[in-house]
């Protein structure tokens, strides 16, 4: 469980218990040649709705990909 403090001038300070959550991240890479590699990552694979800070939703599913080139040797 995670606790968070809420600070607002219009309300007294209170401690809020945030809901539990599980995040699933998947990452992989594949070497095409000795000097070339592709990679990717998916964060929050199941698109979990969660809060790390009270009243601020965190990002949903995110996907990232890239190409890594090794120069030299």
pLDDT of residue 55: 82
Q: Break the chain into its structural domains and give their ranges.
A: 2-69
Q: Please tell me the distance from the alpha carbon of residue 49 to that of residue 35, in angstroms, as a whole number.
A: 39
What does pTM read for this prediction?
0.67
Per this entry, what is the length of the chain? 73
Q: Does residue 2 surpass a pLDDT of 80?
A: no
Q: What is the pLDDT of residues 13-60, one digit of tens each?
A: 677 888 888 999 999 999 999 999 999 999 999 999 988 888 888 889
| 21 touches 46 (CB < 8 A) | no
């Amino acid at each position: 469980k995670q606790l968070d403090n809420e600070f607002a001038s219009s309300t007294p300070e209170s401690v809020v218990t945030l809901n539990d959550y599980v995040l699933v991240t998947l990452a992989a890479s594949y070497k095409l040649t000795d000097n070339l590699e592709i990679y990717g990552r998916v964060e929050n694979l199941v698109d979990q709705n969660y809060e790390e800070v009270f009243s601020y939703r965190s990002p949903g599913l995110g996907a990232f990909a890239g190409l890594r080139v090794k120069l030299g040797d």
